[in-house]
A and B are shown apart, each in its own frame.
Chain A
Amino acid sequence: MSIAVLRDYLPLFARSALLTVRLGALGILLAVLVGVLCSAAQYFRLPVLQQLSAVYIELSRNTPLLVQLFFLYYGLPKLGIRTDPAVCGVAGLAFLGGSYMAEAFRSGLEAVDRVQLESALSLGLTNAQAMGSVILPQALSISMPALVANVIFLLKETSVFSAVSLMDLMFTAKDLIGLHYNTVESLTLLVVFYLLILLPISILGSLVERRLRYAGSGT
């Protein structure tokens, strides 16, 4: 391994890591939004929306992100919907992640007994107050480990972004391997940068889980 090569490559990898994080964060944010909407449609059993979100969740969970991206990036323009790679990447991540986030929220909401809602209502709280002060705080803390796991999963999934010609970490690694055959240096930096992104969140995740395990007994 050559230190000089590592030093040369470092800025290239740093730049693509930033792209990975930026697009990843945006996609995850949108995924959370989609997840909230879908789980709300299912929790409140909203007609039509409930069925639509169920269909969406099945489609999203049973297809790979890479195929979703190919369709978004190469397929849709044929219908006149032209999208640039970054938009595709973010949209694809939101499409994939939305269903995972929805499942995390749904299981959190389901874990809160319906009698909790009833007891809040019987105190004279409105539906909105009961959701905001009683149900959501509990559901969110129950969903937290799943949410963090989803964030890690989605950040890892961004590794296919290079397929729609986004210059992310994988793109840079493959590019440099092809150009200069500095395979070892490229792969080393690839691993290091993914660790830099994923390790903190993973540690955070296990902290959240531990805290919840101690707090979560008895009502």
Chain B
Amino acid sequence: MTKPLLTVEGLVKRYGEHTVLNGLDLTVREGEVVVIVGPSGCGKSTLLRCINALEPIQSGAVRLEVAPISRESRDLPALRQKVGMVFQSYELFPHLTVLDNVTLAPRKAQKRPRAEAEREALALLERVGLADRARDYPRQLSGGQKQRVAIVRALVMHPQVLLFDEVTAALDPEMVREVLDVLLDLARQGRTMLIVTIEMNFARAVADRVIFLDGGTIVEEAPPEEFFDHPKTPRAQKFLNTFTFDAVKRPHPSSLADPTT
């Protein structure tokens, strides 16, 4: 088994009186794809934000290999460079072109030469099918294209682990696929990823391990086939049931409604 890359230990996050994460433990190993699912408000997005130290936490620790990631870490920017994060709302920088969006952090944070950063950026954009949009501004792109650029912007930093926070939730249905395909491609390359998603079929396809989060703790943790086909806990069963529908069609006298004919 590969070594643990990202470790979360006893993470507690409260907003005032409201406890969002209640002593959560989680380990992501190198090359592993972990998918987090759960009802809205279960704390799955907050977990990703805490891993990247975007939120102050009340207790617990987050570590990348052995280095603690916290808001007090002196080398927090350097640690964040190793943790790529993609947001639901893309958060491209609207005043910069696609290429500048992608190369801003390599140039400023990693002090890489512009030519080298641009070469890699263009290669990555090519890989997601957007090389021809490098000079465009974000407002000229569709939602799916923006999200692919945001993924490239994270990749160009050579992160050790990638965090995806409901990256398809803001997209029109027909654009979801193009973004999920990029994620599948990354999984195939053996990248370490922690993915929060509401796309259950995608989760089943991409995950090495599914984590079901509810009420600020991990309720169930299993390989995808096991989790989706035979959820053990009642809460997971109830959650998965919200994705299935019972037929309500009434029998119709006309043969047109009969699919067997």
Contact = CB atoms under 8 A, between A and B. Distances in A.
A125 B94 contact: no
Contacts of A62: none
B110 A124 contact: yes
Given A118-B54, A133-B104, A123 B92 contact: no
B94 A218 contact: yes
Contacts of A137: 95
A163 to B, nearest CB: 43
Interface string A116-134: 1011111111100100011
A123 B54 contact: no
A141 interface: yes
Nearest to A118: B54
A118 B90 CA distance: 12
B105 A124 contact: yes
Given A116-B93, A137-B95, A141-B95, A123 B138 contact: no
Interface in A168-190: none
Interface stretch (B74-82, B214-222, B229-237): B74-82
Interface in B15-71: 49, 52, 54
A63 interface: no
A122 B89 CA distance: 14
B107 to A, nearest CB: 9
Given A115-B87, A126-B109, A121 B80 contact: yes
A183 to B, nearest CB: 52
Contact of B83 (A113, A122, A133): A122
Nearest to B109: A124
Given A133-B104, A217-B139, A123 B109 contact: yes
Interface in A85-138: 113, 115-116, 118-126, 129, 133-134, 137-138
B87 to A, nearest CB: 6
Interface string A137-167: 1100100000000000000000000000000
Given A118-B54, A133-B104, A124 B94 contact: no
A126 B77 contact: yes
A2 interface: no
Contacts of A218: 94, 138-139
Contacts of B85: 119, 122
A134 B219 CA distance: 39
A172 B154 CA distance: 63
Interface in B74-129: 77-85, 87, 89-95, 104-105, 108-110
Nearest to A112: B94
Contacts of A126: 77, 109
B94 A219 contact: yes
A84 B52 CA distance: 56
23 contacts: A113-B89, A113-B91, A115-B91, A116-B91, A119-B87, A119-B91, A121-B80, A123-B81, A123-B157, A124-B77, A124-B79, A124-B109, A124-B157, A125-B104, A125-B108, A126-B109, A129-B109, A134-B104, A137-B95, A138-B93, A141-B95, A218-B139, A219-B138
Nearest to A124: B81
A115 B170 CA distance: 15
Contact of B93 (A122, A134, A141): A134
A118 B49 CA distance: 9
B209 interface: no
The 3 closest A-B pairs by CB, nearest first: A124-B81, A119-B91, A218-B139
Contact of B77 (A125, A141, A217): A125
A115 B93 contact: no
B80 A122 contact: yes
A219 B90 contact: yes
Interface string B153-169: 11001000000000000
Nearest to A134: B93
B94 A138 contact: yes
A217 to B, nearest CB: 6
A123 B105 CA distance: 6
A137 B97 CA distance: 13
B54 A122 contact: yes
Contacts of A219: 89-92, 94, 138-139, 146
B138 A133 contact: no
Contacts of B83: 122
Nearest to B87: A119
Contacts of A115: 87, 89, 91
Interface in B200-252: none
